[in-house]
Amino acid sequence: MNPITIEPIDKTNWEEAIAISLLETQVNLVPTVIESLAYAYVKPWDAAFDPYLLREGDKAFGFFYLSYTPASTDNYWIGGFQIDKDYQGKGLGSQSLYMILESIQEKHPQCQIISLTVEKSNARARALYEKIGFINQELENQDGEVIYKMKLK
């Protein structure tokens, strides 16, 4: 197994990113990669919005973005996290989340709290996030998604 790497999406890899596809039952659970890349351009929520590609060796298998307010300690949000349907069930989701958290701590050492939201009906994702250490805040955002948070060390 090759190590997982995280790389910013740019003109050299955006086509690989938009080729990531989900199972039909998952399509409505996260924004598409194309929508997320549009968010990166528009920045609808925060001052910074960085899209990333997840790789195992030379194979692109996943995507996520980080939306945040630079220099804040508690306004960092992981969003759009998805693993291509052909790579699911292999432990890449857990491994990727650990890598994402490590990357955030390296690039944003001031970050103390990382947040994310999950569709209520997405039991599989909720279980994954809870396994990693995210805590259900028993709150919903304006779209009815459940808010999870994790304190970083």
Predicted structure pTM score: 0.94
Return the pLDDT at 13. 96
Tokens 């304006």 label which residue?
142
Please tell me the distance from the alpha carbon of residue 93 to that of residue 89, in angstroms, as a whole number.
8
Degrees, nearest 5: CA angle 58-109-7: 15
* Digit-coded pLDDT (tens) for 134-149: 999 999 999 999 999 9
- What residue ranges of the chain have pLDDT lower than 70? 1
Return the pLDDT at 1. 65
Return the pLDDT at 52. 98
* Digit-coded pLDDT (tens) for 123-137: 999 999 999 999 999
